[in-house]
Amino acid sequence: MVFDPNALLKKNKEKGENLVKSLNIANNKPKTTLGKVEKEDILNIVRLKGPITPNGIKKDIKVESYLISAILSELVNANILKITSVKKGTSIFYYLPSQKAKLESLISYLNEKDQKTVALLKEKKVIQDKPQELLIRVSVRKIKDYALPLNIRISENEVKLFWKYYLVSDEEAKDVIRNILKPIIKKVKPEEKIIETKIKDKPIEAVKEISKKVISEPIQEKTFKPIEKDEKINEHNIDEKLIGTKFYEELKESFSRKGIIIENAKQIRKNKDLDLIILVKTSLGKSRYYAKYKNKKRNNDADISNAIVIAQSKHLPAAYITTGEIAKKTRENINTLFHNVMIVERFE
């Protein structure tokens, strides 16, 4: 076979042009692909099959899991996709806002106790928190996809917590809450004898007229107005499973020595995996982060991708804190795939 240098040059030129096109560098076009998979491909799968897990997407797109997770993370950050708190094993589900009603198909992935709480909430539409049994009060706080909290101001000094089923409209919820509160409102209505005490020097006819006016006064709409964000009651945000344990107390002390305050802590796996909201002290003040803490020797792409996705859903910067090390391949991807994440290795 005769060697043709011109043919070789032509072939290499074509390869170069194809590479440029695949990276969308030509004409300064924005990058729309990541590896061998396009965002549009993943988005189309979610449209057809959502809610869906990353593994479910991988069945249709044969690429590395971390590439799928990275694209999903971008779509969540852009508010194109939503994520669930309900999981299939350890995997969360991704869905479009228009697919919200389809979350009912995931109820079977909840444990039996939480399924019963969802059924109760769906039947009642709205429930008041305080009168419920302890198990229901704990459960309703876990089913975040299906139970939405409503803080309702009853009076100047009293706020009551209600939970509404996620598909119930605000107007419908307001009507149900009115019915729940009717007995309470009747109890606080002023009685005639109280009014008479205040105006005992006035004629009896005047007393009756004023009394009637006060007692029949309609409930003001502002009674049902949700409280403002800065009025919300702060609740204890440390998982009961962690409180008082040697593991958590030592971890909290270690964080404190490094100028880190734990604001919220949830145990995912005993002594191994925590979801945290932390305040990091800096020379410019305190910065709030979502932090994934893992007691793990080797940490990979999936670990960090998962942390980034959760942080984005909370609209917070991400931190990944581990007692071990980041895998070499993952370390190489940090600057290209994982942006705006604070990584701390060999944490003690």
User: Does the structure show a pLDDT above 90 at 32?
Assistant: no
pLDDT of residue 27: 40
**Closest alpha carbon to 151 in 184, 121, 125, 173:** 173
Q: Are 299 and 257 in contact (CB under 8 A)?
A: no
Q: Specify the range with the lowest mean pLDDT, choosing from 106-115, 154-163, 254-263, 279-288.
A: 279-288
Among 111, 65, 66, residue whose Cα is nearest residue 86: 111
- CATH code for the structural domain at 246-344: 3.40.1350.10
- Per-residue pLDDT band for 117 (boundaries 50, 70, 90) equals very high
Average pLDDT over residues 102-127: 94
Angle at 137 between CA 132 and CA 141, to 5 degrees: 145
Q: Pinpoint the residues of the chain covered by CATH 3.40.1350.10.
A: 246-344
First to last CA, the chain: 65
The structure's pTM equals 0.47
- The residues of the chain that CATH labels 1.10.10.10 are 5-103
Q: Which two three-digit tokens encode residue 314?
A: 């909370």
- The CA distance from 151 to 49, in Å, is 35
Tell me the mean pLDDT in the region 302-326: 85
The band of 222, judged by pLDDT with boundaries at 50, 70 and 90, is very low
Q: Which fold has domain 5-103?
A: Arc Repressor Mutant, subunit A (1.10.10)
Does 116 or 14 have the greater pLDDT score? 116
Q: Note the pLDDT of residue 330.
A: 79
Q: Where are the alpha helices (DSSP H) in the chain?
A: 5-22, 39-49, 54-58, 65-77, 112-124, 134-142, 170-188, 192-198, 204-215, 246-257, 301-313, 328-337
Average pLDDT, rounded, for the chain = 76
User: Binning pLDDT at 50, 70 and 90, where does residue 163 land?
Assistant: very high
For residues 195-208, give the mean pLDDT: 38
Instruction: Please report the pLDDT score of residue 232 as a whole number.
Output: 38
Tokens for 164, please give them: 């509404």
- Whether the pLDDT of residue 207 is over 90: the answer is no
Query: Quick check: helix, strand or coil at residue 251?
Result: helix
**What is the pLDDT, as a whole number, of residue 51?**
95
Give 311's pLDDT tier (boundaries 50, 70, 90).
confident
User: Between residues 35 and 282, which one has the greater pLDDT?
Assistant: 282
